Amino acid sequence: MNLLRTSLIRDLLTDVFLNLFRKRMRALLTMTGVIIGSFLVVLIFSLSNGLSVFLDQQIRAVWDENMIKVRLEKGGAPEKMAKGMFGGLGEPPQEVTEENKEEIPGAFEFRHIPHESIQKLKNIDGVQEVQPEIWVMPRSMQVVGDDRQFDAIVRPWIMAGPDMLAYGQDFSTSAARECIVSEAYLVALGYSNPTQLLGQTLKIRIQEDAYIAMAGGGQMDLKFLDKLRDVAYLFQNPPEDPELTMISAFIMLRDLANSSEIKALTTEPGAAKVFEAKVVGISKKGLLTNMIYLPPDLIAEMGRVFLRNPDMYTKGKDGKFGIEGLVRVSDPKEIPRIKREIKKLGMKSTTLEDVVGFIHGLFGALSAILTVFVMIAGVVAFFSIVNTLFMAVSERKREIGVLQAIGATRGYVAAMFAAEAGAIGLMGGLIGYLLGTVLCIVGNIYAAQGLPYIPGGNWGNILGVSDLFVTPWWVLPLMILATAFVGAFAGVLPAKRAAQLDPAEALRYE
């Protein structure tokens, strides 16, 4: 019985394709809506997924899944300052209270994380190490023995983490004069093999930036101006006792001279300091092509030169940790608990999941909007199939009568038209999928080879780690189901009409 039923279904499908082939141009035109719809689905989801994966990888280049960024709840939030500076950013003006008075742009003050808090962070169970977040822009990098100099950005290796290591190994110690450089430097240096770069020594030139030193010697900490004002006040309103004036002036001027800002201004400017570091590893390619990752001690040393501030990233009485800290945890699964403990210490934390989740959400929303357009194409395709099938039923009325006369049941007639509609949907879906896939492949080839019309653009360097179009695995099954369903659903009414034809009347139809 099953065998017979299988043969009936096979025969029905053969008939369906024969019938579609009879009016192939019409069938193809009817499919157009489905083809366009499924083509767009493939393109949209592949591009959105590809970009999402791509950005995900780029973020991972500076954000290891084991890393949490922390800063103080108060005085550590640049976005709050930005909100004030750009006029509230859509929110109504906030009331100044005792709680938030230091967060108001006019009173905003960056605060370094106190060393006691760093110690408390280190004491949290599961925390491996805490380092300051340091961003150094060297004047240049150069391979010893090579005259050419290249631009670079220096970041702590803790941010990228072991997943980003393509070749070589991690640093030997935290105090090592070693570095891990981006794979893109192989292209820039004209090396074909990573071993040509591994083991070489780099010269990294750091030159303090006058503006950064002024404004950011203590990272926007302009308290030295208060001290200057106190000195001015002393001379404008001197005490009667000249000796007291002298002593007061001496103390105040000594404080002023010892402030990190004045110290920064008085160090010898101009000459760049050269740091040497041996290349021990090569990191995966990414959007940030000029990355050099360093161990904590070396980058802190560079940071002090870069900011012209000998107190930065140091302990001791005047030592400043920095406004952001990088916490490395032993197990990412522990992150929720560690985040809660960080919050108890009066600090805010951001994880890879927070950032990646935001980006995925953004692409999800974009895909949802574009899906609406695809659904409109689907509705158009639906009505196009309904129309075609009604025409077919009308044209083949006598044929339906003949089939009924020689023994076709109503169910068979209905199934024949529903299957024709489903086949139009399914074939349209598959053709659209194929076209979309071909375009994705061509797009990926172009993206990998570089786009000649973008001056100087070589996407190959950037996209080395991922394709621009990555079709999610579920698109094909979704397409098969959705297009067959749209088709078959569109065929319901015409099939019903065909099945209800009176055979005697259908045979009389001219």
Partner 1 sequence: MAAIEAEELTRIFQVGGEEVRALDGLTVSLERGSLAAVVGPSGSGKSTLMALLGGLDTPSSGSVSVYDQKLNGMAPVDLAAYRRSTVGFVFQDFFLLSHLTAIENVEVPLKLAQVSRSERRDRANELIELVGLGHRGEHRPQQLSGGERQRVAIARALANRPKLLLADEPTGNLDEKTGMAITEILLNLNKDRDITVLLVTHNPELAKQTEIQFHLGGGKLQKTICS
Where on the chain is the footprint of partner 1 (CB under 8 A)? 4-5, 7-8, 11, 18-19, 22, 398-399, 401-412, 502-504, 507
Smallest separation (angstroms) from partner 1 to the CB of 400: 11
Smallest separation (angstroms) from partner 1 to the CB of 14: 9
Smallest separation (angstroms) from partner 1 to the CB of 413: 10
Q: What is the DSSP letter of 330?
A: S
Q: How far apart are CA 484 and CA 491, in angstroms?
A: 10
Q: How far apart are CA 387 and CA 383, in angstroms?
A: 6
Instruction: With beta carbons less than 8 A apart as the criterion, state whether 436 and 41 touch.
Output: yes
- Residue with smaller CB distance to partner 1, 4 or 369: 4
List of E strands, 199-323? 201-206, 273-283, 291-294
- Residue with smaller CB distance to partner 1, 338 or 413: 413
- Residue with smaller CB distance to partner 1, 139 or 398: 398
Smallest separation (angstroms) from partner 1 to the CB of 428: 22
Instruction: With beta carbons less than 8 A apart as the criterion, state whether 222 and 261 touch.
Output: yes
Q: What is the DSSP letter of 195?
A: G
Question: In terms of Cα–Cα distance, which of 203, 221, 209 is closest to 150?
Answer: 203
Question: In terms of Cα–Cα distance, which of 455, 426, 391, 333 is closest to 37?
Answer: 426
Smallest separation (angstroms) from partner 1 to the CB of 6: 10
Smallest separation (angstroms) from partner 1 to the CB of 489: 24
3-state secondary structure of 417: helix
| Cβ-based neighbour number of residue 396 at 10 Å | 21
- Residue with smaller CB distance to partner 1, 5 or 333: 5
Helix segments in 260-334, DSSP class H: 260-266, 296-306
Smallest separation (angstroms) from partner 1 to the CB of 31: 20
Exposure class string for 430-468: b at 16+ Cβ within 10 A, else e: bbbbebbbeebeebbeebbebeeeeeeebeebbbbbbbb
- Residue with smaller CB distance to partner 1, 18 or 372: 18
Q: How far apart are CA 27 and CA 220, in angstroms?
A: 70
- Residue with smaller CB distance to partner 1, 11 or 125: 11
- Residue with smaller CB distance to partner 1, 320 or 396: 396
Smallest separation (angstroms) from partner 1 to the CB of 509: 11
Smallest separation (angstroms) from partner 1 to the CB of 13: 12
Q: At what angle do helices 24-61 and 475-499 cross, to 10 degrees?
A: 150
Amino acid, single-letter form, for residue 450? G
Q: How far apart are CA 84 and CA 223, in angstroms?
A: 21
- Residue with smaller CB distance to partner 1, 232 or 504: 504
- Residue with smaller CB distance to partner 1, 460 or 503: 503
Smallest separation (angstroms) from partner 1 to the CB of 11: 5
Q: How far apart are CA 78 and CA 263, in angstroms?
A: 25
Smallest separation (angstroms) from partner 1 to the CB of 23: 10
Smallest separation (angstroms) from partner 1 to the CB of 427: 19
- Residue with smaller CB distance to partner 1, 226 or 505: 505
- The DSSP element (H or E) to which 41 belongs, if any, is helix 24-61
| Cβ-based neighbour number of residue 483 at 10 Å | 29
- Residue with smaller CB distance to partner 1, 472 or 503: 503
- Residue with smaller CB distance to partner 1, 269 or 411: 411
Q: How far apart are CA 285 and CA 263, in angstroms?
A: 39
Alpha-carbon distances, residue 453 vs 288, 442, 450, 462, 466 (angstroms): 21, 16, 9, 16, 21
Alpha-carbon distances, residue 113 vs 81, 110, 119 (angstroms): 18, 10, 10
